[in-house]
């Protein structure tokens, strides 16, 4: 998105143009910005952007999650061997991307993460 996306440019003047890029997919992207100026041939600017990060988020304020750690953690109670299982806990994750994801879950002992 360009702001401003069109308008007049006075002689010997400058206008800052803000380019805003919205993303929902990670990767490297090449594109072309085209400027059409009345009476002149179009001008093309090559553009390259790399989008990184994870589209998976843990929405804020979920009961039971500890947000005071590097990554949110879900504390589990101490269970005595060969007794009944702990009550289940749950939380929500969200895929903000445009593609389906496959997620593999792993459990870690908290002392191994410090």
Tokens found for residue 11: 């002689």
* Residue 69 near residue 56 (C-beta atoms within 8 A): no
pLDDT for the residue numbered 85 = 82
Residues 56-87 as b or e (16 or more Cβ within 10 Å = b)? eeeeeeeeebeeeeeebeeeeeeeeeeeeeee
Q: Would you kindly state where each structural domain of the chain is located, as residue ranges?
A: 8-51
Burial class (CB in 10 A: 0-12, 13-18, 19+), 23: middle
Rounded to two decimals, the pTM is 0.51
Q: What percent of the chain has pLDDT over 90?
A: 23
pLDDT for the residue numbered 114 = 63
Alpha-carbon distance of 46 to 108, in angstroms, equals: 46
pLDDT in tens, 15-67: 999 988 877 777 889 999 998 988 999 999 999 999 888 888 888 888 888 88
Which residue is listed with tokens 């002392």? 111
Question: Taking all residues of the chain, what is their mean pLDDT, rounded to a whole number?
Answer: 85
């Amino acid at each position: 998105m360009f702001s401003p996306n069109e308008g007049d440019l006075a002689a010997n003047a400058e206008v800052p143009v803000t380019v805003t890029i919205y993303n929902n997919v990670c990767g490297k992207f090449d594109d072309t910005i085209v400027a059409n100026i009345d009476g002149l041939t179009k001008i093309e600017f090559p553009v390259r952007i790399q989008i990184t990060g994870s589209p998976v988020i843990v929405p804020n304020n979920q009961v039971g999650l500890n947000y005071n750690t590097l990554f949110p953690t879900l504390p589990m109670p101490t269970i005595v061997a060969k007794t009944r299982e702990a009550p289940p806990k749950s939380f929500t994750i969200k895929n903000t991307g445009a593609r389906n994801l496959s997620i593999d879950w792993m459990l870690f002992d908290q002392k191994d993460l410090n």
